[in-house]
Each structure stands twice: as C-alpha cells, then as structure tokens.
Amino acid sequence: DAKTTQPNSMESNEEEPVHLPCNHSTISGTDYIHWYRQLPSQGPEYVIHGLTSNVNNRMASLAIAEDRKSSTLILHRATLRDAAVYYCILRRALGLIGSSYKLIFGSGTRLLVRP
C-alpha cells in the first residue's frame, strides 16, 4: 500500500531555512502530494500541495522530484511558531464521483526550532 517516509525529527535555528524531506516511492500517477502540520492536541493544518510541478505559497514551497518519488517542503525562514509535526501525505481519490479523497499519512517529522 502507498505510504510516505519521513525523518522522525529535525532541528532548525530561527530565521534559517528548513528543508523537510519525504519519500513516497509507491505514489500512483493520480496521487497528489500534500503537506499538513499539526500542533499538540489540535487538528492538522493544510500547508501546501502539488502534483508534478514545484509550488509556492505564502507559507512554504514544495519541491517535487521529477520521478515524483520524493518531495521536499521548504520553510524559507523558520519561526518559533513553525515548530510542529509536519506530515507528508498522499491524497488519493476514493471514487469516480464528487471530490472524495483519502489522505494517506506517514508518521511525520517533528520540527524543533531553536531561538
């Protein structure tokens, strides 16, 4: 079954860039790559997503390998508020009708930001 693999934890200094890697070698052609982050005792928060091309938004950038078997979430300047568990997720369609999708989670990377 499809899954994602991420480092258990990473550390960064405040104001420095952070590169969070993810392997998803069993990705299928229609799976989107999503990233969410989660603070303790809260629901995950959407960060960014992509299919084949690199993506940028106000929160982060997503770099996707040409073969789509890996991706990297880039936080350009880490702040203390970015400390969270970051999940690399495959979004897979559940059927042919409507917009139902399943999010396939890995175990996530716990990001620690040092002041």
Partner 1 sequence: DGGITQSPKYLFRKEGQNVTLSCEQNLNHDAMYWYRQDPGQGLRLIYYSQIVNDFQKGDIAEGYSVSREKKESFPLTVTSAQKNPTAFYLCASIPDRGYGYTFGSGTRLTVV
Instruction: Return the number of the residue (18 or 34) whose C-beta is nearest partner 1.
Output: 34
Minimum distance, C-beta of residue 1 to partner 1, in the bound complex (Å): 9
* Minimum separation from the CB atom of position 87 to partner 1 (A): 6
As a whole number of angstroms, the distance between CA 96 and CA 89 comes to 21
Q: How far apart are CA 80 and CA 56, in angstroms?
A: 21
Residue partners of 55: CB distance under 8 A and separation at least 6: 48, 49, 61, 62, 64
Kindly compute the dihedral angle of the four CA atoms of residues 42, 48, 104, 96, in this order, to the nearest 10 degrees. Answer: 120
Residues forming contacts to partner 1 in the complex (CB under 8 A) are 32, 34, 36, 41-46, 49, 87, 89, 91, 94-95, 97-103, 105-108
Task: Report the C-alpha gap between 109 and 85 in whole angstroms.
Answer: 5
Which residue, 30 or 100, has its beta carbon nearer to partner 1? 100
Q: Choose between 70 and 86: whose C-beta lies nearer to partner 1.
A: 86
Closest distance to partner 1 from the beta carbon of 44 (Å):
5
Minimum separation from the CB atom of position 99 to partner 1 (A): 5
Q: Which is nearer to partner 1, 32 or 68 (CB)?
A: 32
* Structure tokens that stand for 22 in this block: 């993810």
